[in-house]
Amino acid sequence: MTEPSDPQTVVDSHPDWSHIPEHAHHVFLCTGPRCTQRGALQLWKKLRRQLLEHQRIEVPGGVLLTRTHCQFPCNLGPVLTVYPQACWYRVSNEAEAIRLVDVHLVGGEIVEDMLIRERR
């Protein structure tokens, strides 16, 4: 049995990590294998930079940005979801990431033409 003092079981801690950061929107960006092949990691960096420029990271009225694994639909990725509105977006490039931040996450308006629509 491993003792708690074993360096392999010690996990870094910080008082802020015991609380959910203040936010109005929770954004989940898929960084699963297919979305990553389509540029999701670069988009995550761009989203984070844009949100920092607008002072919207983890503040009241701001955004909690979380990377996830597969969210589906993989063939339409990179996939990004915004809650509490439950909007599913396809974000294909940095210009769309900037637009999503400016219009939805700062401006409060859903970006209709970027929404993933269910096909039947």
HEC sequence for 22-70: CCCEEEEEECCHHHHHCCHHHHHHHHHHHHHHCCCECCCCCEEEEEECC
Q: CA neighbours within 13 Å on the CB side: how many for 90?
A: 15
Spatial contact of 58 and 23, defined as CB atoms under 8 Å apart: yes
Say how far apart CA 55 and CA 23 lie, in whole Å: 12
Q: Which residue has the higher pLDDT, 64 or 1?
A: 64
Q: Report which residue type is found at 70.
A: C
- Please report the sign of the dihedral spanned by the C-alpha atoms of residue 62, residue 68, residue 70, residue 75: positive
Say how far apart CA 52 and CA 106 lie, in whole Å: 11
Task: Using the predicted structure, report yes or no on whether residue 1 has a pLDDT greater than 80.
Answer: no
- pTM as predicted: 0.84
Tell me the pLDDT tens digit for each residue of 61-113: 999 999 999 998 989 999 999 999 999 999 999 999 999 999 999 999 999 99
Question: Which CATH superfamily does the domain covering 21-114 fall into?
Answer: Glutaredoxin (3.40.30.10)
Task: Using the predicted structure, report yes or no on whether residue 120 has a pLDDT greater than 60.
Answer: no
Q: Which of 4-8, 22-26, 98-102 has the lowest mean pLDDT?
A: 4-8
